[in-house]
Amino acid sequence: MQEPDPRQRTKLLKVGMRQCRYLVSDDPRRAICCGAPTPEGSSWCDWHRRLVYIPVQPVKIRRDTLAS
């Protein structure tokens, strides 16, 4: 998977539908977003989703632990 093209970057207030909203600017007053295409129902492109989203593994609880 390739990092998104920096030429797609756009100001937060100009981000359209299906554009990545991951902030890439260091200056919060400028608020520049990635702008790369996003999958349906996501605010981030696949590249930035991997940076932001950490899947949680289900915790298995032993029955003998619950009884005590």
Quickly list DSSP for 9-28: -EEGGG--TTB---B--S-T
pLDDT-based confidence at residue 65 (cuts at 50, 70, 90): low
Q: Is residue 63 part of a domain?
A: no
CA 33-24-55 angle, to 5 degrees, is 95
pLDDT at residue 68 is higher than 60: no
**Where in the sequence is the domain holding 27, given as residue range(s)?**
6-54
Strands 10-11 and 32-33: antiparallel
Of 37 and 62, the structure prediction assigns the larger pLDDT to: 37
Of 14 and 55, the structure prediction assigns the larger pLDDT to: 14
Q: Is residue 62 part of a domain?
A: no
- Structure confidence at residue 15 (pLDDT): 95
What's the rounded Cα separation, in Å, for the pair 36 and 17?
A: 11
Q: Is residue 17 part of a domain?
A: yes
| Overall domain count for the chain | 1
pLDDT (tens digit per residue) in 13-51 = 999 999 999 999 988 788 999 999 999 999 999 999 998
